[in-house]
């Protein structure tokens, strides 16, 4: 046996049957939007390629990404991926602690230099030299930079690592900063969401481990296969939107009938994610299906986009709680008033001038 | 009483394509403002039929998109006419900011509207203040609305679609498109305010200035009410 095991060897060691393994390959191909022809390719890659180690670090975060990840809908996928990434370093999931844990990370970096994937959950706060987040006795930002230096690629898990999330919301006292603004010289793939969908996380990591490259990314650096469409585009309540049938109050008849939540401030039309197709918890449901609008958790700065319950959201730049309609209608009203006064004065002036000319 | 005989001379100012553009634009903008307002704040829910047989909000959005596309085509047509039309067709696109006479004209018009000038100016094309307002609110304003509008449309059209290739880069700049909705909405109010002033001033100048205004945008001819020098 070679020094570094293949994915398949790891899986078999974990007690996963060949039949289950093949199922996983077809499931992954489907989730990634690849044709059936890719199933044997995935299988072959996993049987022959040495396992790619993953270092999973945690900055300023709530661990909801990890919570989501370990609840991947298909237990098989979770087991496979967990055994694949093998937790070379993941301070919330691994058994080791203290110095042993930090040593494990250093060993992995040393052993797989330039060959491991760095998964970042949370982000580094930069204020006060990074003292707002200490890992292993040092500011997290140092650990992040150290781990990133020899990484092949970086995965930014969740809204924290991708955009900053709640800790970066205005006024951002700790100067929490998304990973791509700290690590500038590595390919970074953003998997936003608070948390991201488990299947999206396992799909992305499987793709990278299997094909040894980044999936196709969109303009913001998100994997296109999961973030190319909005919640709104594939929402099962969309026919009610087009019909003009909306929930007007949380407890009205329309809410019971499952009408569109647009008027309740649903951010589905501005949110790119796969919730409306993949859904959550084994495909059981997603926010809109449970009767609450999307809050846009996978979008940049979603905490600073006004209320979760308005469509025309507040604009803080004006220093007051005002939205575009309030500002616009006020300005239009003032203009109309000024026009009326101006017209009256004009008429008077004109009459006065005519009198003078007589 | 003044019993002067005035020889009402006229100049052909607005050529047919310019006039056509003006009225098509006016109509599209009206449709866009009304439907746009409803898109942000939908009308009360209607229960005419089952959702699969009812398309009320869909029609509102359709009208918005259709008017937006007409506006876009019209804008490019108007831009083309700036090159091949008469000198007045260029006024919307080129501001003579380097000329002191232009700024003197702006000042004169400001004083005229503040009732500080007794006599209005005699002007063939746009007066300098009007030209400035047109350039900012219509030329730049419409470009802003067209670009942000197409970027929002590109979200629904999908990545890789033509709208996305043309305007999707805006989504890459803005990131959270909720903010883009807000900017587009503020743009609408800017144009509503422009419309109020535009219509008021056109009618006022038609009555009080020394040349025609409203009829000029219909016939194309600007008539002068006196023979005196400008």
**Selected residue with higher pLDDT from A81 and A235:** A235
Handedness of CA A316, A318, A321, A324 (dihedral sign): negative
Is there a domain that residue A262 lies in?
yes
Quick one: pLDDT band at residue A107, thresholds 50, 70, 90? confident
Whether residue A255 sits in one domain with residue A153: no
B94-123: burial string, b at 16+ Cβ within 10 Å, e else: ebeeeeeebeebbebbeebbeeeeeebebb
Structure tokens at A166: 């709640």
Distance CA A120, CA A99 (A): 20
Whether residue A212 sits in one domain with residue A76: yes
Handedness of CA A200, A204, A206, A211 (dihedral sign): positive
User: Per-residue pLDDT averaged across A154-178, rounded?
Assistant: 93
Mean pLDDT of chain A: 87
Residue numbers in the known binding site of A are 62, 65, 160, 194, 232, 235, 260, 266, 275, 294, 297
State whether residue A202 sits within 8 Å of chain B by CB: no
| DSSP-derived 3-state class of residue A190 | strand
Residue of B nearest to A343 (CA): B204
State whether residue B4 sits within 8 Å of chain A by CB: no
Whether residue A261 sits in one domain with residue A208: no
Structure tokens at B195: 């419309």
Which residue in the block uniquely carries the two structure tokens 């006419």? B81
Which pLDDT tens digits describe chain B residue by residue (230 residues)?
A: 455 666 668 889 999 999 999 999 999 999 999 999 999 999 999 888 888 899 999 999 999 999 999 999 999 999 999 999 999 999 999 999 999 999 999 999 999 999 888 888 888 888 999 999 999 999 999 999 999 999 999 999 988 899 999 999 999 888 889 999 999 999 999 999 999 999 999 999 888 888 888 889 999 999 888 777 65
Structural domain boundaries of chain B? 10-15+85-223
What digits encode the pLDDT tens for the residues A206-233? 788 778 888 999 989 999 989 999 999 9
Whether residue A280 sits in one domain with residue A163: no
> Residue A284 belongs to a domain with what CATH number?
4.10.480.10
Nearest Cα neighbor of B146 from B209, B91, B78 is: B78
The predicted pLDDT at position A83 comes to 65
User: Per-residue pLDDT averaged across A128-136, rounded?
Assistant: 91
- The length of chain B is 230
Q: Is the pLDDT of residue A266 over 70?
A: yes
- Top mean pLDDT of A80-89, A281-290, B58-67, B168-177 is at B58-67
Whether residue A208 sits in one domain with residue A92: yes
Nearest Cα neighbor of A7 from A232, A185, A294, A207 is: A207
State whether residue A329 sits within 8 Å of chain B by CB: yes
Whether residue A19 sits in one domain with residue A148: yes
The predicted pLDDT at position B129 comes to 93
Q: How much of chain A, in percent, has pLDDT values that exceed 90?
A: 47
Whether residue A65 sits in one domain with residue A102: yes
**Selected residue with higher pLDDT from B79 and A13:** B79
Q: Is the pLDDT of residue A20 over 70?
A: yes
SS (H, E, C) B190-205: HHHHHHHHHHHHHHHH
Q: How much of chain A, in percent, has pLDDT values that exceed 70?
A: 93
The predicted pLDDT at position B230 comes to 57
The predicted pLDDT at position A343 comes to 92
**Selected residue with higher pLDDT from A281 and A156:** A156
State whether residue A346 sits within 8 Å of chain B by CB: yes
Distance CA A160, CA A64 (A): 10
Whether residue A297 sits in one domain with residue A164: no
Cβ proximity of A298 and A272 under 8 Å: yes
Taking a contact as any Cβ pair under 8 Å apart, which residues of chain A between 203 and 222 contact chain B?
218-220
The predicted pLDDT at position A95 comes to 74
Distance CA B20, CA B82 (A): 14
Question: Is A241 in contact with B57 (Cβ distance < 8 A)?
Answer: yes
**Selected residue with higher pLDDT from A177 and A104:** A177
The predicted pLDDT at position A324 comes to 84
Structure tokens at A214: 């980044």
Is there a domain that residue A11 lies in?
yes
**Selected residue with higher pLDDT from A182 and A305:** A182
A243 → closest Cβ in B41, B51, B180 = B51
What digits encode the pLDDT tens for the residues A241-261? 999 999 999 999 999 999 999
The predicted pLDDT at position B1 comes to 45
Whether residue A342 sits in one domain with residue A268: no
Whether residue A217 sits in one domain with residue A70: yes
A305 → closest Cβ in B1, B168, B178 = B178
The predicted pLDDT at position A166 comes to 93
Q: Give all strands of the β-sheet with A89-90 in edge-to-edge order.
A: A89-90, A54-58, A116-121, A151-157, A188-191
The predicted pLDDT at position A2 comes to 44
Count of domains forming chain A: 3
Taking a contact as any Cβ pair under 8 Å apart, which residues of chain A between 140 and 179 contact chain B?
163
Quick one: pLDDT band at residue A82, thresholds 50, 70, 90? low
User: Model's pTM, two decimal places?
Assistant: 0.89
Whether residue A165 sits in one domain with residue A123: yes
Last residue of a domain, one of A184, A203, A227: A227
Cα–chain center distance at A32: 17
Q: What is the CATH number of domain B10-15+85-223?
A: 1.20.950
B196 → closest Cβ in A229, A243, A335 = A335
**Selected residue with higher pLDDT from A99 and A83:** A99
Closest-CA distance, A306 to chain B, in angstroms, reads: 9
State whether residue A324 sits within 8 Å of chain B by CB: yes
Whether residue A76 sits in one domain with residue A49: yes
Q: Which residues of B touch A358 (CB under 8 A)?
A: 1
- Residue span of the structural domain in which A305 resides: 232-313
Q: Is the pLDDT of residue A292 over 90?
A: yes
Max Cα–Cα distance, chain A, nearest Å: 113
User: Per-residue pLDDT averaged across A37-41, rounded?
Assistant: 86
Question: Is B55 in contact with A327 (Cβ distance < 8 A)?
Answer: no
User: Per-residue pLDDT averaged across A51-65, rounded?
Assistant: 87
**Selected residue with higher pLDDT from A38 and B187:** B187
> Residue A129 belongs to a domain with what CATH number?
3.40.50.700
**Selected residue with higher pLDDT from A191 and A87:** A191
The predicted pLDDT at position A1 comes to 35
The predicted pLDDT at position B229 comes to 67
Taking a contact as any Cβ pair under 8 Å apart, which residues of chain B between 159 and 178 contact chain A?
159, 168-169, 171-172, 175-178
Is there a domain that residue A119 lies in?
yes
């Amino acid at each position: 046996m070679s020094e570094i095991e293949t994915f398949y060897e790891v899986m078999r060691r974990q007690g996963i049957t060949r039949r289950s393994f093949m199922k996983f390959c077809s499931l992954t191909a489907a989730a990634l939007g690849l044709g059936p022809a890719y199933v044997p390719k995935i299988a072959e890659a996993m049987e022959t390629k040495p396992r790619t180690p993953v270092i999973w670090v945690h900055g300023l975060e709530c661990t909801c990404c990890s919570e989501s990840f370990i609840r991947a809908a298909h237990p098989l996928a979770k087991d496979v991926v967990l055994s694949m990434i093998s937790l070379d370093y993941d301070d919330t999931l691994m058994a080791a602690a203290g110095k042993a844990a930090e040593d494990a990370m250093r060993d992995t970096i040393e052993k797989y230099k330039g060959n491991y994937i760095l998964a970042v959950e949370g982000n580094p706060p930069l204020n006060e030299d990074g003292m707002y987040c200490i890992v292993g006795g040092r500011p997290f930002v140092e650990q992040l930079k150290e781990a990133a230096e020899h990484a092949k690629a970086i995965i930014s898990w969740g809204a924290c690592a991708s955009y900053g999330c709640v800790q970066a919301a205005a006024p951002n006292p700790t100067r929490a900063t998304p990973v791509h603004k700290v690590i500038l010289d590595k390919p970074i793939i953003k998997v936003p969401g608070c948390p991201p969908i488990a299947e999206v996380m396992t799909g992305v990591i499987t793709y990278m481990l299997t094909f040894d490259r980044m999936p196709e990314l969109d303009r913001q650096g998100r994997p296109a296969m999961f973030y190319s469409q909005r919640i709104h585009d594939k929402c099962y309540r969309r026919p009610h939107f087009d019909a003009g049938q909306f929930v007007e109050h949380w407890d009205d008849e329309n809410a019971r009938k499952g009408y569109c939540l647009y008027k309740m401030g649903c951010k589905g039309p501005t949110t790119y994610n796969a919730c409306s197709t993949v859904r959550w918890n084994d495909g059981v449901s997603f926010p809109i299906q449970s009767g609450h609008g999307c809050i846009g958790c996978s979008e940049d700065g979603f905490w600073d986009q006004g209320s979760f319950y308005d469509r025309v959201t507040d604009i803080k730049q004006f220093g007051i709680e005002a939205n575009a309609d309030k500002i616009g209608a006020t300005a239009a009203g003032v203009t109309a008033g000024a026009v009326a006064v101006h017209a009256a004065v004009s008429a008077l002036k004109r009459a006065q001038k005519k009198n003078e000319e007589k | 009483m003044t019993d002067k005989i005035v020889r009402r001379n006229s100049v052909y100012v607005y050529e047919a394509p310019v006039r056509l553009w003006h009225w098509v634009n006016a109509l599209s903008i009206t449709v866009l403002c009304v439907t746009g307002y409803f898109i942000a704040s939908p009308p009360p829910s209607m229960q005419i039929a089952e959702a699969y047989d009812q398309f009320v909000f869909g029609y509102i959005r359709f009208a918005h998109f259709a008017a937006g596309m007409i506006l876009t085509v019209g804008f490019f047509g108007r831009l083309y006419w700036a090159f091949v039309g008469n000198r007045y067709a260029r006024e919307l696109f080129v501001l003579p900011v380097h000329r002191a006479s232009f700024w003197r004209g702006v000042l004169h018009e400001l004083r005229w509207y503040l009732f500080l000038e007794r006599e209005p100016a005699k002007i063939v094309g746009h007066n300098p203040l009007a030209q400035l307002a047109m350039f900012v609110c219509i030329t730049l304003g419409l470009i802003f609305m067209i670009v942000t509008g197409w970027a929002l449309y590109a979200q629904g059209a999908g990545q890789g679609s033509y709208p996305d290739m043309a305007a999707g880069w805006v989504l890459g700049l803005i990131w959270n498109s909720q903010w883009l909705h807000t900017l587009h909405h503020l743009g609408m109010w800017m144009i509503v305010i422009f419309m109020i002033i535009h219509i008021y001033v056109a009618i006022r100048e038609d009555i009080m200035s020394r040349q025609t205004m409203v009829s000029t945008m219909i016939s194309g001819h600007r008539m002068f009410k006196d023979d005196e020098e400008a």
